[in-house]
Structure 1
Amino acid sequence: MDIAIIETSSLGDRSYLISANGIGVVIDPQRDIDRIEKLASEKNATVTHVLETHIHNDYVTGGLELSRVAGAEYVVPEGDPLGYERRAVNDGDVVEAGPFSFQVLHTPGHTHHHVSYVLRDDTGSPVAVFTGGSMLYGSTGRTDLLGSDHTAELTHSQYHSVRRIADELPPETAVYPTHGFGSFCSATPTSGDASTIGEQRATNPALTQDEQTYVDELIAGLSAYPAYYAHMGVINTKGPEPVDLTNPAPVNVQELRQRIDAGEWVVDLRTRTAFAAGHIDGSLGFELSTSFVTYLGWLYEWGAPLTLIGENADQINEAQRELVRIGIDDLAGAAVGEIRTLVGDGTLRAYAVSDFAGLAAATSDRTVVVLDTRQSGEFRDGHIAGAVNIPLHELPHRLDEVPAGEVWVHCASGYRSSIGASLLDRIDRNVVLVDDDYENAASAGLPQTITP
């Protein structure tokens, strides 16, 4: 028996392919199913079953399409009113798949109908449990995605679900969650890349705390999550369309300028330092990295025309793959090439890039505005004295709250602040990007404040 991991680090999620004797079972697949098809071919496995732990809120599932293409049985928890045929399973059901079987455990908390799957071998012994958004590595799935009216109830349910998993399985059972590798579906940060039931007994707050402490701390620690989550459950409930990764239409220099002037979304995928050194006036900088799809999806005006700028076709294709994972399918086009060839008769805009040592030097001889684009919880835990906190996801609607003057923009690492800097640059603010790790602020001599 082989358990293979399909990592989607940009969304902090994992899918799984379990295979043996030419049979393959896939759990919680992402929308770009070609990765799974390739892996199944390498394993000489025919996918016979596709299992979902829940209706996902952080990505568009590939489960429906994979089941159609592979002719596999599509297994989804009972309870949600879905717009397609599937095998609806309840607590205690068993999914037989060749040499192994999956026992369904109802584990509500992340959602009402969430289930986990206990993998048993041909002797009936538990080998692993696929926990979706329930038991994560040193954490649990967040419980507020269905709205505040359900949060308290689901948090209590999550506590009991994780305890049920731990109580019913031996300590050596391997744990395979879907979320928790940087995903906003995790209630608190997770730790590690592998674990067992025994390890979770010692580290998971649902197993080390009493119920009320767990509930109070989880709810108090919940932070904002990406705005595109509001669309994922709807798409997954209706039934996603097959993914289309056809290259977007090319956009010439004149069209690019017209789209920017019309107020459309034109996103530059180059590195944040390359964007700062020279970019087309009115474009926005979203560096193509592991954080790209989370923050573009968070700030993007859903349904608005979106044009990409990239250095080459591979960069555009990678961005497109990321975007379809969250349901942004209809790109308006793409412009490819060296940035100076895409500006036409115009001139490139630029702004400065520095670090926290540079900020310390600047504040010592003149008055500057320090804009902290981290989330409010991060800001409360410690920030530069006198800094203004506007979380990045709120900044597009609060630009007029940024004080007048020279603005130095920072976050925890430089990624969020780079997007913030491009937003400010677009409205002609004098901006400096702090491309540095926040832990260097104190050593640079910048005074720190903690908000009680």
Structure 2
Amino acid sequence: MKIEQIYTGCIAQAAYYLESNGEAAIFDPLREVQPYLDRAQKDNAKIKYVFETHFHADFVSGHLDLANKSGGEIVYGPTANPEFKAIIAIDNQEFKVGNYTVKAIHTPGHTLESTCYLLIDENGKHYGIITGDTLFIGDVGRPDLAQALVDDLTQEKLAGYLFDSLRNKIMPLADDLIVYPSHGAGSACGKNMSKETTDTLGNQKRTNYALRADMTKEEFTKELLDGLGAPPAYFPQNVMMNIKGYDSLDSIIHKSNIGLSPREFEAVANQGDIVILDVRHENDFVKAHIPNSIFIGIQGNFAPWVGSMLRDVNQKLLLVIPEGREEETITRLSRVGFDHVLGYLKDGIEAWKKAGFETDSIHSISPEEFANEINAKSIVVDARKPGEYEAEHVENAINLPLDNINDNFQSIPKGDDFYLHCAGGYRSVIMASILKSRGIHNIINVEKGMSGIKQTTVSCTKFECPSTKK
């Protein structure tokens, strides 16, 4: 069977391309649809269907643009109610793609409309199943993203639906079936996803905690909800964009890809309620940046961090971008629904300085300097996630995860300087930029984060640092 996974690592998302006998289907496309059109053209195939497993929360899907450009029909599962033309499949409805058959299997739980697509080859053999967010490798989809859309719908109810869907619809299928999920490790749509992005269903039955044969519904619900933090604030907004529709990516790029001189940039910034987003490398940002700008580097998990930190997809943005990456930045912002870019600083921070405008910096030190400076009275803030902190952390460090900084702002140490670090130096600079934009400047950033600290003589707890082993 000709099925290809098209994986986008920065948002841990998998789309799929299926082709047979000159007909093609795309499953869960990203918003930039040209790669799918190019892939079909390479096979001299026509895109017949655009299948969606559910209304996505973590990204804005490309179903509308792809359908408009390819002529393919959009397909959702039962109970979906989009505000645009689409086929709403009934449970077990079959669709022909060349000599292949795609069977829609309604699997509510992650969301009410969640649907898996069973792939059947030309000989009638069940080859694979595209599971969306119903079943991941090592995990299942969180059941708390759709409850706000329906009255009296709780995460406990959805967890119960998911238990039934897995037991009655997925687990009875053959062990040699290949599982093709929509996400891998790093996605906020689950909590225990593997770095692997495909597996056999049989191996998942053996290794995935959520597929244990002896598990009761109550046990499943408890384990699924245990440790499940609040979803990122932008998730419900992405869901509504996927339901209601959105402007085409072409129009977003056309209106946003505008270079502004420093004086034009300043004039727009002074109009109020505009965030200056600097996407350069953290090492460049700490040296010089526009005062009150927010750093989220494009080299990291850029779009999810933008969504988590800025929260509101309607936020107006001005960008500071590495030269040549303007369209890429605008496109990646659009993946999570941030469509209101007003332009970027032409010729970058150097042009800003040459025009005589003020810059700011972040006090940043090496791990070795940190080791020499730290003492029993030092305040250390660890910006990593709780699991990272629990595995190994600097003794007496305070864990204030970047994910929750908007809600835990009052917990930031006031007065004396404090050291701030993460795992590798990316998240700590995001946090430092947010704190500085809110008037907190008593920050000393530790470069290279925990990966650098572990190579020094700093004492860590839980696991012994390599440098202190005897």
Give the TM-score normalised by the residue count of structure 2.
0.88
State whether residues 78 and 88 of structure 2, in contact with CA within 8 Å, keep that contact through their aligned partners in structure 1: yes
Deviations 1:16-74 (A, max 9, x none): 01012211011111111112111111222210111111111111111122122211121
SS class of match (2:297): coil
Structure 2 residue 204 is the aligned partner of structure 1 residue 200: yes
Helix, strand or coil: the match of 1:140? coil
- Residues 215 and 435 (structure 1), Cα distance of their counterparts in 2 relative to 1, 3 Å cut: farther
> Counterparts of 2:31 and 2:455 in 1: how far apart (Å)?
44
| Deviation by residue 1:227-263 (Cα, 9 ceiling, x = unmatched) | 1102011111112332222252222212333455545
Deviates more, 1:398-407 or 1:236-245: 398-407
Change (3 A) 1:140 1:356: farther
Give the letter for the 1:168 counterpart: P
- Offset from partner CA, 1:146-179 (integer Å, 9 cap, x none): 2485211222322332334543322221111112
Q: Distance in 1 between matches of 2:154 and 2:10?
A: 28
Match among 292, 308, 315 for residue 304 of structure 1: 315
Equivalent in the alignment of 2:461: 448
Separation in 2, partners of 1:143, 1:345: 52
State the shift of 1:301 in Å.
5.1
Partner of 1:274: 284
Cα distance change of structure 1 residues 32 and 142 upon mapping to structure 2, 3 Å threshold: same
SS at match of 2:16: strand
The CA deviation string for residues 121-148 of structure 1, in whole angstroms up to 9 with x for no partner, is 1221101100000111111111111248
Give the whole-Å Cα distance in 2 for the aligned partners of 1:143 and 1:26.
25
Show the 5 A alignment for 1:120-269.
120-147=120-147, 149-208=153-212, 210-211=215-216, 212-244=218-250, 245-246=253-254, 248-260=257-269, 262=272, 264-269=274-279
Give the corresponding residue for 2:448: 436
Give the 3 Å change call, closer, same or farther, for CA 221–400 of structure 1 in structure 2: closer
Check the 8 A contact 2:278/2:295 in 1, yes or no.
Answer: yes
* Contiguous gaps of at least 5 residues in structure 2: 464-470
Q: Hey, what's the Cα distance between the residues in 1 that align with 2:337 and 2:424?
A: 27
Equivalent in the alignment of 2:467? none
Return closer, same or farther for 1:405/1:146 CA change in 2, 3 Å cut-off.
same
Is residue 9–residue 181 contact of structure 1 (8 Å, CA) maintained in 2?
A: no
Q: Would you say the 8 A contact 1:110–1:141 is kept in 2?
A: yes
1:363 maps to 2:374: yes
Tell me the amino acid that sits aligned with residue 317 of structure 2: L
Distance 1:222 1:17, change over 3 A: same
Structure 2 equivalent of residue 31 of structure 1:
31
Shift of 1:226: 1.9
Deviation at 1:397, TM superposition (A): 5.6
Given the superposition, is the C-alpha separation of residues 114 and 435 from structure 1 closer, same or farther in structure 2, using an over 3 Å criterion?
same
Find the counterpart in structure 2 of residue 78 from structure 1: 78
Deviations 1:368-425, CA, capped at 9 Å, x for gaps:
3322223455545654343333332443465454222212222233222110111233
Contact preservation (8 Å) 1:54, 1:115:
yes
Structure 1 residues 341 and 391, CA, compared in 2 at 3 Å: closer, same or farther? same
Question: Quick one: distance in 2 between partners of 1:449 and 1:199?
Answer: 32
CA contact (8 A) 2:392 2:460 kept: no
Return closer, same or farther for 1:163/1:398 CA change in 2, 3 Å cut-off: closer
Amino acid at match of 1:251: L
Q: 1:94: how far off?
A: 0.9
Whether contact under 8 Å (2:320, 2:348) holds in the other structure is no
Q: Which residue of 1 aligns with 2:107?
A: 107
Mapped contact 2:180–2:197 kept (Cα < 8 A): no
Whole-Å Cα distance in 2 between the matches of residues 338 and 414 of structure 1? Answer: 22
Q: CA deviation at 1:265?
A: 0.5
Residue type of the alignment partner of 1:50: V
Q: Deviations over 1:337-361 (max 9, x none)?
A: 2422213213432223335554333
- Higher mean C-alpha deviation, range 14-23 or range 434-443: 434-443
Any conservation in 1 of the 2:259–2:344 contact (CA below 8 Å)? yes
Q: Distance in 2 between matches of 1:164 and 1:307?
A: 50
Query: Structure 2 matches for 1:352-431, cutoff 5 A?
Result: 352-364=363-375, 367-376=377-386, 378-379=388-389, 383-396=393-406, 398-403=408-413, 404-426=415-437, 427=439, 429-431=441-443
CA contact (8 A) 2:181 2:197 kept: no
Question: Which deviates more from structure 2 when the two are superposed, residues 10-19 or residues 439-448?
Answer: 439-448
Q: Answer yes or no: is the 8 Å Cα contact 2:77–2:90 preserved in 1.
A: yes
Alpha-carbon distance between aligned partners in 1 of 2:451 and 2:322, rounded to the nearest angstrom: 32
Point out where structure 1 has 5 or more consecutive residues left out of the alignment.
none
For 2:157 and 2:278, locate their aligned partners in 1 and report how far apart those are by CA, in whole Å.
Answer: 43
Which of 295, 298, 307 aligns to 2:305? It is 295
Aligned to 2:44: 44
Cα distance in 2, alignment partners of residues 397 and 217 from structure 1: 26
1:351 lines up with 2:362 in the alignment? yes
For residues 309 and 358 of structure 1, the distance between their equivalents in structure 2, rounded to whole angstroms, comes to: 30
What SS class does the counterpart of residue 145 from structure 1 fall into?
coil
* Cα distance in structure 1, aligned partners of 2:240 and 2:73: 22
Distance 1:34 1:268 in 2: 27
Is the CA contact 1:61–1:240 (under 8 Å) kept in the aligned structure 2?
no
Task: State, as a whole percentage, how many aligned pairs show the same letter.
Answer: 27
In the alignment, the residues of structure 1 paired with residue 402 and residue 333 of structure 2 have an alpha-carbon distance, to the nearest angstrom, of 19
- Structure 1 residues 232 and 263 mapped into 2: Cα distance closer, same or farther (>3 Å)? closer
**Partner residue of 2:12?**
12
Counterpart residue identity of residue 203, structure 1:
T
Q: Hey, what does 1:321 align to over in structure 2?
A: 331
Q: Distance in 1 between matches of 2:268 and 2:38?
A: 38
